[in-house]
Amino acid sequence: MKDDTTITEKVLNFLRGEKRSILLNLSPSLLWYAVFLTAPLVLVVMLSFWRTEDIILIPTFTLEHYITFFTKIGARGQLQYIELLLKSIGMATAVTAGCIALGYPAAYYLSFKTKIPKYTLLIVLMGPYLASYLIIIFSLKFLILGHNGLVNALLMNLGLITEPSGLFMHNQYAVIFTLIQSWTPWLVLPMFASLEKIDKTLLEAAADLGASPMQTFRKVTLPLSMPGVLVAVLFVFIPSVGEFITTRMVGGTTGYMIGNTIQKLFQRGYTWPLAAAVTIVMMIVTLIVVFILLRKVSLEQIMESL
Mean pLDDT by 10 residues, the chain (306 residues): 56 56 75 90 93 84 93 84 93 94 92 82 80 82 84 87 81 90 87 88 88 90 88 88 88 86 84 93 90 72 60
Q: Write down the H helix ranges in 159-212.
A: 172-196, 200-208
Rounded to an integer, what distance in angstroms lies between the CA atom of residue 88 and that of residue 209? 46
> Is there a contact between 235 and 290 (Cβ–Cβ < 8 Å)?
no
Residue 52, CB-side half-sphere exposure with 13 Å CA sphere = 15
- Cα 215 off chain centre by: 31
The amino acid that residue 209 corresponds to is L
Residue 240, CB-side half-sphere exposure with 13 Å CA sphere = 32
- What is the per-residue pLDDT for 211? 87
Q: Are strands 56-58 and 51-53 parallel, antiparallel or unpaired?
A: antiparallel
Rounded to an integer, what distance in angstroms lies between the CA atom of residue 105 and that of residue 111? 10
- Cα 38 off chain centre by: 20
Rounded to an integer, what distance in angstroms lies between the CA atom of residue 174 and that of residue 250? 6
Rounded to an integer, what distance in angstroms lies between the CA atom of residue 263 and that of residue 272? 10
- What is the per-residue pLDDT for 97? 94
54-87 in b/e burial notation, b at 16+ Cβ within 10 A?
Answer: eeeeeeeeeeebbebbeeeeeeeeeebbeebbeb
The amino acid that residue 34 corresponds to is A
- Cα 149 off chain centre by: 28
Q: How far apart are the first and last CA of the chain?
A: 53
- What is the per-residue pLDDT for 117? 83
Query: In a 3-state reduction of DSSP, which class is residue 75?
Result: coil
- Cα 14 off chain centre by: 41
Rounded to an integer, what distance in angstroms lies between the CA atom of residue 106 and that of residue 174? 23
- What is the per-residue pLDDT for 2? 47
- What residues form DSSP beta bridges with 51? 58
100-128 in b/e burial notation, b at 16+ Cβ within 10 A?
Answer: bebbbebbbebbeeeeeeeeebbeebeee
Report domain extents, the chain: 70-304
What are phi and psi for residue 57, nearest 5 degrees? -75, 130
CATH of domain 70-304: 1.10.3720.10
